[in-house]
A and B are shown apart, each in its own frame.
Chain A
Amino acid sequence: MWNAAWLVLFVFFGTQAATAQEMSDSEARSKIVALEQVAKLQAWENQDLKMLDELLDANFFYVDPSGKLQTKGQLMAFVQMANSLQFLTDAMVVRLHNDTAIVTGLYQIKGVVRGRPYVSRGRFVDTWLRQEGRWVEIASLATPER
């Protein structure tokens, strides 16, 4: 009898814990998608350097479609000097590994930089890290379609 009661309690709390974990993961995924699709895209398009500064970790690295390595400062300078930039993403998938999130998807960048048209499309892979409850991007790579 007691064994059966313990089993019921064990299953109940086990299920509760699993559900809480699933909810937490789901919230994290939604949060990251919002950061990618809203905050980051708006920061690029509106040249919102303050927003970009909040999204990117101080040690952030970016590999652009031409294979050039850029630091956070260099990326912000690129966004700032652009005459216009439009950043679109699609087919985004978030994979969680504890406090690390890997985001993959398709991107398309259109704009004018230093008076010249700038177009790039391909696939990206971004790495986000949860630091003190806040997600920050620590690395990003964009690779063009062949």
Chain B
Amino acid sequence: MKAIIRWLGLLCVIAPQICGQQQPETGTAAAIRALEHEWTVGQSRNDNRALDLIFDSALVYVEYGKLVSKGDYLSRIKREPSGMDQIVPEPMTVQVFGTTAIVTGTYVEKQLLGRRHEAMRWRFIDTWVYKKNGWVLVAAGSAPVAN
């Protein structure tokens, strides 16, 4: 009886870790997709509080040869008038490696420059890591897609 209880106890300890690794990828992938969506919505609404929760404190963002920290990125979002830029996400792929997830995809950035609308397509790679309080974005980078 003691042996059974011991095995059950061991199973309780191990099960969450196994689930963490082999959890239906769809579950983790869906969570990451939801966070990507939160990011887009948070950015369009200049909602720094929402973005602060999903960005790791050591987040690095690379765009057009520039390296941007979390603080710089949030400051930029705060400064920009709401709705100035429109981000239109396109299909993305989520790959899960245990407690790390890689998201690749494209999006179109629409900007109003004076009276002129300009659209630019970007391809991105985002890296999410599962930490104490859930999944957080640790790195993001995008490159302009050549015509």
Binding site for B on A (CB under 8 A): 57, 59, 61, 63-69, 95, 97-100, 102, 104, 121-125, 127, 129, 131, 138-146
Contacts and interface: CB of A to CB of B under 8 A. Distances in A.
B88 to A, nearest CB: 16
Nearest to B142: A143
Contacts of B2: none
Nearest to A59: B95
Contact of B139 (A65, A102, A146): A102
B104 A67 contact: no
A131 B97 CA distance: 9
Contacts of B56: 97
B66 interface: yes
- Interface size on B, as a range, is 20 to 34
Nearest to B65: A145
B117 to A, nearest CB: 20
A125 B102 contact: no
Interface string B100-134: 10101000000000000000011111010101000
B54 interface: no
B145 interface: yes
Contact of A143 (B64, B100, B139): B64
A98 to B, nearest CB: 7
A29 to B, nearest CB: 13
The interface centre, meaning the residue of B62, B67, B138 with most chain A CB atoms within 10 A of its CB, is: B62
A54 B131 CA distance: 28
Given A122-B65, A127-B139, A144-B143, A102 B125 contact: no
Given A102-B139, A144-B143, A63 B123 contact: yes
A144 to B, nearest CB: 6
B64 A145 contact: yes
